[in-house]
A and B are shown apart, each in its own frame.
Chain A
Amino acid sequence: MISALLVMLGLALALGAALGAASVLFRTQGDPLVDKIDAILPQTQCGQCGYPGCKPYATAIAGGEADINQCPPGGDEGVRKLADLLGREYKPLNAEHGVEKPKAVAVIDEATCIGCTLCIQACPVDAIVGAAKQMHTIVADLCTGCELCVAPCPADCIAMVPVADTVDTWKWRYPVFELKPVTHAPAKEAA
């Protein structure tokens, strides 16, 4: 009896010490929860969630200030993932912040561009190249489709063009099957 108690006590002490040591030895930098949330967010950096970028929104979610359904680019799936991660109830996207849209990239009409650099300043991910009074161009691979450059352009020369599928990015569709209506008695009667 005594020995059993002693064994349990010894175990409790040893494991407690190990846990304590681990928490000191393997302390993580930064807030791991914010990083986990940020990893789910699409990094479009569009600000539709009401925060100046995905990381600030992640911080706000982690701090309990923001709800999980404010990111339209992340869409329904993003909300579900956040709900999973945080153990919360799923809720549909809050329409106040916008709706989910197919991915598009910005295209500058290079003939109309006056080289004002306003779009470069607006782009959160440095996807626009150009210099003052020079024609600007958007690097399509870098553009996240945040639309932040569209409004500042005084010449109205930026348009959002949906990204078309190519042979390499095309996805097999979810298998769907036509449900055959059950045909019984009427067919026989006709015959």
Chain B
Amino acid sequence: MLRQLFSFNGGVKPDPNKGASTREPIARLPLPPQLIIPLHQHIGGTPRPLVKAGDRVLHGQRIGAADGNVSSAVHAPTSGTVVAVEPRLMPHASGLSAMAVVIEPDGLDLRVEREPFDWHAATPGEVRDHLRDAGVVGLGGAVFPSHLKLSAGKAGSTDTLVINGAECEPFITCDDMLMRSEPLDILRGAQVMKTLLAAKQVLVGIEDNKPEAAAALKAAAAELGDPALDIVVVPTRYPAGGAKQLIRVLTGIEVPHGQRSTDYGVQCFNVATALAVWNALERGEPLTRRIVTVAGNVERPRNFDVAIGTPIGFVFEHAGLKPDTDKLIMGGPMMGVPLPGVEAPVVKATNCLLASSPALFPPPEPEMPCIRCGECARACPADLQPFELYWHSRSRNFGRAQEYHLFDCIECGCCAYVCPSHIPLVDYYRYAKSEIWARERDKDAADSARERFEFRNWRAEREKEEKAARLAARSAAKPVAKTAEVADTATSPADAQAATPAVTDPKKALIEAAMARARAQKEAAAAKNTDALTPDQQAQVDAAEARRKRAADLVAEKQAATAGETATVSPDAPAPSPAEPGDGAR
């Protein structure tokens, strides 16, 4: 059946550079000496760690549990010992660290008992929970939890399921190689998704520069004999693999700015995600490995089947990183992000590891002013006006940038690719987007602070009224012998403090007494409830200790700074008590 294809606006045709890494089949990378498995590898809540340092884990064991429904689980890719649950460097442009489970493989690769899951008999809700707990997320790069995209919604609201095998970005070939090697299971996964979504047809889109993959999928589709499956070869043009762009090409549906394809009855998944769904449901295998293209400035560009958590440096060793490499990129040359270091691990989002050299990617030419030539608008596949976005992002006029649909920008880089002034346009969009998100967070925090402030004022008001009423009620009553009482409590336990002469105010006396008690207690105190903690509790305890330490350091610093002043200016004021008796600054 010949399908009528459509076309999206804009786009560019960069050199695909896909030949080098497709010469050889996918190789299974051996396990590294240490696996670093970040807990947060997807969009949504950070999973709770389920293990602690010293625990033994098995291949496929869940080590992080999904935090709520908008989250996903993480699993151990092999058996071994957990050596730490601590912040580690992330493969993220920020160069910051985040919580990760560090596992030392024992080489035995013992598996957890696979729980058979009869997904044919399970309700759609159960299937979704199973996928969430198997850690299945979108493997095209967006890492959105797949189970959330697999709700049928209102009956019959999804008409078409698009399976994205376009893989339009230069250098990246992991989906290509996966389609060649596992066509049958990819399509089976797509069939499961079709059932879950109650979709009528499945369209698998592949760019015409991957004839082998298309042939393999066509043969597999013929074998399955499902008339709803259609393998469609689309023209090669970057970014045909963008979800909205591929949907446009395959179905002709143009999703307007600010809307989702699901509003138009189309849902889109990556081919690797389809396979992960099949593995999770039919084989009971959680997502612990993925295919990663290693390309660019390496001796042996190739696709590797890598355990998630493998340090990036270990992967590059196997591909032979050339010495003149100046930069490492996760993703492709158009949309990739710079990597902060080789210690960062491969995560679920890592589709490609690209080594760059000055010869391969010459440094960008100096930025020139925008001449408003409109080239960028012609190239933009999202039908935006990049020069307007650039103008408003650059002048920090974020409201205007949003009016020009900044958040419909898919950061494909087409605009920057064609810009004759060499303006790194996407950098400006990324900057503007993260500023807007930060502002939204600040605004939410301010709104909640305002509410709590107003509530507190209201409460104070009410308390004052109640007190006034109470006082009025017993206005004639007894003057209490309060002062005597207070004096008692103040003198009895405060042996050390009794010497302080300046204590006159009864309230102050109470506080001084309490402080003396606290000091005495602290001498003897050692927390007794810290054995046999769950890793969760242990993490909390550690966090509290760290906070305390930071606080103590700061207090000590502050005291060091003010010590001189206090001593000379007010000798008879109640002495400020050091946070740590004995090791204060004086």
Contact = CB atoms under 8 A, between A and B. Distances in A.
Interface of A: 38, 41-45, 53-55, 107-116, 118, 124-127, 133, 141-142, 144, 154-161, 165-175, 177, 179-180
Contacts of B442: 42
A125 B456 contact: yes
A115 B518 CA distance: 9
B111 interface: no
Contact of A171 (B434, B518, B525): B434
B547 interface: yes
A159 B92 contact: no
16 contacts: A43-B449, A55-B450, A107-B550, A112-B579, A114-B515, A114-B517, A141-B445, A161-B554, A165-B94, A166-B96, A169-B441, A170-B434, A171-B437, A172-B93, A172-B430, A172-B433
B450 A172 contact: no
A180 B363 CA distance: 13
Contact of B94 (A45, A111, A167): A167
Interface of B: 40, 90, 92-94, 96-98, 366-367, 424, 427-428, 430-431, 433-435, 437-438, 441-442, 445-450, 452-457, 508, 511-512, 514-515, 517-518, 522, 525, 544, 547-548, 550-552, 554-555, 558-559, 576-579
B363 to A, nearest CB: 10
A126 B577 contact: no
B518 A112 contact: yes
A44 B449 contact: yes
Given A154-B515, A166-B98, A172-B427, A125 B577 contact: no
B285 to A, nearest CB: 28
Nearest to A160: B554
A118 B544 CA distance: 22
A41 B540 CA distance: 33
Given A110-B544, A156-B579, A159-B550, A171 B428 contact: no
Contacts, number: 134
Contacts of A43: 445-447, 449-450, 453
A119 B110 CA distance: 53
Given A109-B579, A172-B427, A54 B450 contact: yes
Nearest to A144: B449
Contacts of A168: 40
B134 to A, nearest CB: 24
A107 B448 contact: no
B438 A171 contact: yes
B431 A171 contact: yes
A114 B450 contact: no
B40 to A, nearest CB: 7
B452 A126 contact: yes
The 5 A-B pairs with the shortest beta carbon distances in the complex, nearest first, are A159-B554, A170-B94, A43-B446, A159-B551, A175-B427
Given A38-B450, A142-B449, 7 more contacts: A109-B551, A126-B456, A157-B551, A172-B430, A175-B427, A177-B367, A179-B366
A155 B449 contact: no
B366 A180 contact: yes
Contacts of A38: 450
A172 B577 CA distance: 43
Given A38-B450, A45-B453, A111-B548, A155 B518 contact: yes
